[in-house]
Amino acid sequence: MRLLLSRWPLATQVRHREELLDRVLQALRADPAAAVRRDGGKAFAQARATCLHCLSSRACQNWLDAAEALPLPADFCPNARFFRELMASGTARDAFDEGQRQPLDA
């Protein structure tokens, strides 16, 4: 797969941006299933599109590399509102007991 992606720089960029968004969700300890379910999937799709077109990918990468020492989410992030809403709605894993997670169809 790496050989194929190296021939398609845009595909490499898209995959990198997807990885950044996934890393932010991990840093926030957000429940990925809950993030995807927000607003019938529209909010997550918009967050992915926003990340894809973001001009701050290098800053995001640097921020993620030092995320333990920095506030979450980063203020420069155009998806900061989405991430704050996830945290406020209790979809961050540390915001509820792991034993009481809601099923995907909830």
Give per-10-residue mean pLDDT for the chain (106 aa): 62 87 87 89 94 92 78 85 86 45 39
Would residue 7 count as lying in a domain? no
pTM for this predicted structure: 0.70
Residue 4 lies in a domain: no
Domain membership flag for residue 8: no
Pull the structure tokens for residue 7.
């021939």
Closest C-alpha to 20, from 46, 59, 71, 72: 59
| Domain membership of residue 59 as a residue range | 14-89
The pLDDT value given to residue 66: 83
- Is residue 3 domain-resident? no
Number of domains forming the structure of the chain? 1
